[in-house]
Structure 1
Amino acid sequence: MRIAAIDLGTNTFHLLIAEVGGANINVLFKTNVPVKLGEGRINENVIIPAAFERGISCLKDFNSKIIDFGVDTVVATATSAVRSAQNGQEFVAAAKAEANISIAVISGDEEAELIYKGVKLSGAVSARSLIMDIGGGSVEFILCDEDELIWKKSYNIGAARLMQQFFKTDPISDNDKNAILFHIQNELADLFEIAAQFQPTTLIGSAGAFETFAELIERKHLRTIDLANLKTYQFNFDDYIAISLQLLNATHQQRAEMPGMIPLRIDMVMMATLITNYVLGRLKINNLVLSTYDLKMGIIANALNNA
């Protein structure tokens, strides 16, 4: 059976097409497009017209690829940007009418559940862990171990939201950093309470910005990394801290020129860095792992379980 998993993120739309049989998953095609659905007015809960059109155009292209691959089942999920937008249902209706793609707008809890299933499929969970998925609109945290999901929650502190609200200086000023960290601290109060109780020893970063961190580190050491063929990546903690400080002290132009940086993340990665460093420091965790499997693979895992 061929399954297409579509993840309509706030910044990026993802398409993954896989052949699924038994317990086997063979990825046939994978792409992502920087649609920037949350551009401009995400904190006002509006998809602006230009972003709306980019999103529908991207879904039309995805549908052509789905037809080309003879896909049997399409599962498309929309997360924070569509979930919170006043015109989110208009976008869902346009996607069906113009691109023939039916979108399920999922809750933050459902999003976290799918992320957990995807990350677990990668093999990244080998101890008491906290999974973190940093999107443009929301950030999901999942506390888990090898056997079970213990706790999960989605917070509206995604990179696009933080950028539009707080990021006003280049390089980022101490005032901007402190405003972001104060906001994160207040928003994540219950996360730190549950983490104090269960004491995770590993932070697992789900794809996204964590792939950029890995790429930047490897390129800095003049090495290459093929993330498309990796399920997990173990960070050297000192390397991560060094690259995070370099990012936080750099200008927009300096970040743009860093080998391994992709255009979409030049500024977004700053927000991801601040959140990651704060969580690592607050929870005293020094073991950081990347899972390249995320929500999309969670969709595939669901299909495997239901087959």
Structure 2
Amino acid sequence: MSPSPLRPAVPLRDGDLLAALDLGSNSFHIVVAQRVLGQLRVVDRLRETVRMAEGLNALGGLSPEVRERALACLARFGQRIADIPPQHVRAVATNTVRQLRDAESFLRPAEAALGHAIDVISGREEARLVYLGVAHEQPPRDDQRRLVLDIGGGSTECIIGQGFAPLERESLQVGCIASTRRFFANGKLGRKRWNAALHEVSAEFQQFASTYRSLGWDEAIGTSGTHKAIGNICAALKLTKGAITLPALQEVRERVLQSSRIDAIALPGLSDDRRPIIAGGVLVLEAAFTVLGLERLQVSKAALREGVLHDLLGRGGIDDPRDVSVAALMQRYGLDIAQAQRVEDCALELFDQVATPWALGDDDRDMLARAARLHEIGLAIAHSGYHNHGAYVLQHSDIAGFSQQGQRFVAALVRVHRRSVPKSAFDMIPDRLLANARHMAALLRLAVLLHRSRKDEAMPGLRLRAEGEKLALRLDKRWLQARPLLRADLEGEPEDMLGLGIQLRIEAA
């Protein structure tokens, strides 16, 4: 199935504003851009140091102090985006929120403070968006390969891309805050401790170094606050003009180790804000230089937030990365395209009949269509329990364009599209999406059931009505009587549908 748009993209006109929010482990960022002559022009930027990673404990909890700091920042950011249409805003959370034991307990008040949904993205999706931001900020040649490194507060993303497309993406659990806390928790520095830490961090890069080096790249680019800070230090020491070279990085490391404690580090060009975490950043970058064989790294101003902005432009249109990913999954797992199309068409026909009483929107319609396209993905593993296999694949795969919540949403719909509905089916779905998830699951179940015969045939008199949590499905009586297997399936469906909290009635007219 070709990745065609599921609905018309919201047209962007000159003067329209878009906003991207990056809720990182060290800083929270917001960038607002305006469409001008078909291009994006940045009109506002905000940054606050929140240091989410500092509040993360070993059990996945978040300290009250850091939690309140984050919520206060989000409330201020919420004021900035209040007048921008919601479909033109996207907020993404990265490593620290991914590590929370109960992310929803933070996301609920966070979304309330911001006044907008927050997408938690995987490390590999973060890598894709970082590369997208760099590629648009510094357009490459079509034949040029780039290595892009992003050392964040809690994780480091490594990408090799060509043109505007990433070829390899990796995310490591090492970052400037995480590494500083892990290796220099008491604030003490020393060469022996540094070398031991360098050995451990280097092992993380070794996992993919041979693949990256065999693929090769024409230039290396570093993005994020860590690279900017180290680049500034190199320039202030007159070692380079802002780029990072191997000799310059080695000199910076030596200057860091001249101090016995982190709070005593004194380097020209180093801000007070960056001083507490610079040791971890230099450590991770030295490991990357050593293992990947780097000699020089340019520093880019673009980062994740710019990638989110450009990704927003493609959503809902022919270049929506989610639809491209769905098409790739269908091909990889050998799905029956004709059957997927039948189920999708029927599910969307039913959707359009109940969208108004159930207050379902365009985004809901898109997600239902994607679930319909992928509902049989588990057949590639086994027919028995294929809905369970499919849900597992969708929940645990790295699917470009999807947030973690988005993947879990589609996975839940696939999990309950047949058989009984377990009580735990929607445990991973955010509360704000729960009602719509149950409603769309009901529509997908009906569409799958109505097309069990896997034939192209009209369904005369097909009509679905919704009133609260009650559904009434009407079919032509003669048509239904001629299909005893379907009639038997429909007779058992009302009982199964109760697992969704929905009362179903079948009418033959």
- TM-score, normalising length: structure 2: 0.54
Aligned length: 296
Choose which of 19, 22, 42 in structure 2 pairs with 1:27. Answer: 42
Q: Provide the rounded CA distance (Å) in 2 between the counterparts of 1:111 and 1:137.
A: 12
Give the structure 2 partner of residue 9 of structure 1: 24
Give the structure 1 partner of residue 167 of structure 2: 150
1:22: how far off?
5.3
Give the structure 2 partner of residue 96 of structure 1: 111
- Give the match's secondary structure for 1:5: strand
236-245 vs 113-122, greater mean Cα deviation: 236-245
134-143 vs 153-162, greater mean Cα deviation: 153-162
Query: Does the alignment pair 1:271 with 2:274?
Result: no
Q: Write out per-residue CA displacement over residues 2-26 of structure 1, whole angstroms, 9 at most, x where no aligned residue.
A: 1111100111111111112454121
139-148 vs 72-81, greater mean Cα deviation: 139-148
- Give the match's secondary structure for 1:285: coil
- Give the match's secondary structure for 1:258: coil
C-alpha spacing 1:119/1:222, structure 2 compared with 1 (3 Å): closer
Query: Does the alignment pair 1:252 with 2:262?
Result: yes
Give the structure 2 partner of residue 229 of structure 1: none
128-137 vs 106-115, greater mean Cα deviation: 128-137
Give the structure 2 partner of residue 242 of structure 1: 251
Taking the TM superposition and a 5 Å limit, the aligned residue runs for 1:202-213 are: 202-213=219-230
Q: Provide the rounded CA distance (Å) in 1 between the counterparts of 2:117 and 2:250.
A: 42
258-267 vs 46-55, greater mean Cα deviation: 258-267
Q: Provide the rounded CA distance (Å) in 1 between the counterparts of 2:190 and 2:145.
A: 35
Give the structure 2 partner of residue 301 of structure 1: 310
Q: Provide the rounded CA distance (Å) in 1 between the counterparts of 2:290 and 2:93.
A: 31
Contact 1:22 1:304 in 2 (8 A): no
284-293 vs 36-45, greater mean Cα deviation: 36-45
**Which letter does structure 2 place at the counterpart of 1:263?**
D
Contact 1:169 1:176 in 2 (8 A): no
1:40: how far off?
4.1
- TM-score, normalising length: structure 1: 0.87
Q: Provide the rounded CA distance (Å) in 2 between the counterparts of 1:182 and 1:258.
A: 25
Q: Provide the rounded CA distance (Å) in 2 between the counterparts of 1:291 and 1:305.
A: 23
Q: Provide the rounded CA distance (Å) in 2 between the counterparts of 1:132 and 1:106.
A: 18
Contact 1:47 1:81 in 2 (8 A): no
- Give the match's secondary structure for 2:54: coil
Q: Provide the rounded CA distance (Å) in 2 between the counterparts of 1:205 and 1:222.
A: 17
Give the structure 2 partner of residue 113 of structure 1: 128
- Give the match's secondary structure for 1:188: helix
Contact 2:23 2:91 in 1 (8 A): yes
1:222: how far off?
11
1:267: how far off?
3.0
Contact 1:139 1:156 in 2 (8 A): yes
- Give the match's secondary structure for 1:261: coil
Taking the TM superposition and a 5 Å limit, the aligned residue runs for 1:123-142 are: 123=138, 125=140, 127-142=144-159
Contact 2:19 2:31 in 1 (8 A): yes
1:204: how far off?
1.2
Q: Provide the rounded CA distance (Å) in 1 between the counterparts of 2:300 and 2:100.
A: 29
Give the structure 2 partner of residue 172 of structure 1: 189
**Which letter does structure 2 place at the counterpart of 1:161?**
A
1:47: how far off?
1.4
Q: Provide the rounded CA distance (Å) in 2 between the counterparts of 1:262 and 1:146.
A: 34
Structure 1: runs of 5+ lacking an equivalent: 226-232
1:124: how far off?
6.7
C-alpha spacing 1:124/1:269, structure 2 compared with 1 (3 Å): farther
Q: Write out per-residue CA displacement over residues 242-301 of structure 1, whole angstroms, 9 at most, x where no aligned residue.
A: 33432343343443x433222332132211212212221222221211111010000111
Q: Provide the rounded CA distance (Å) in 2 between the counterparts of 1:78 and 1:207.
A: 15
**Which letter does structure 2 place at the counterpart of 1:156?**
Q
105-114 vs 237-246, greater mean Cα deviation: 237-246
**Which letter does structure 2 place at the counterpart of 1:185?**
S
Q: Provide the rounded CA distance (Å) in 1 between the counterparts of 2:42 and 2:288.
A: 33
C-alpha spacing 1:83/1:60, structure 2 compared with 1 (3 Å): same
Deviation >6 Å, runs of 4+: none
| Cα root mean square deviation, aligned | 2.5
Contact 2:191 2:257 in 1 (8 A): no
Contact 2:146 2:160 in 1 (8 A): yes
- Give the match's secondary structure for 1:172: coil
Choose which of 61, 77, 91 in structure 2 pairs with 1:62. Answer: 77
Query: Does the alignment pair 1:161 with 2:178?
Result: yes
Contact 2:205 2:288 in 1 (8 A): no
Structure 2: runs of 5+ lacking an equivalent: 1-15, 318-509
Taking the TM superposition and a 5 Å limit, the aligned residue runs for 1:203-242 are: 203-221=220-238, 234-235=243-244, 238-242=247-251
Give the structure 2 partner of residue 84 of structure 1: 99
Give the structure 2 partner of residue 282 of structure 1: 291
Q: Provide the rounded CA distance (Å) in 2 between the counterparts of 1:170 and 1:124.
A: 41
1:65: how far off?
2.0
- Give the match's secondary structure for 1:215: helix
Contact 1:40 1:164 in 2 (8 A): no
C-alpha spacing 1:246/1:171, structure 2 compared with 1 (3 Å): farther
Q: Write out per-residue CA displacement over residues 12-57 of structure 1, whole angstroms, 9 at most, x where no aligned residue.
A: 1111111124541211111211111121434432211111111000
284-293 vs 145-154, greater mean Cα deviation: 145-154
Taking the TM superposition and a 5 Å limit, the aligned residue runs for 1:173-188 are: 173-188=190-205
Contact 2:175 2:284 in 1 (8 A): no
Give the structure 2 partner of residue 71 of structure 1: 84
Contact 2:152 2:224 in 1 (8 A): no
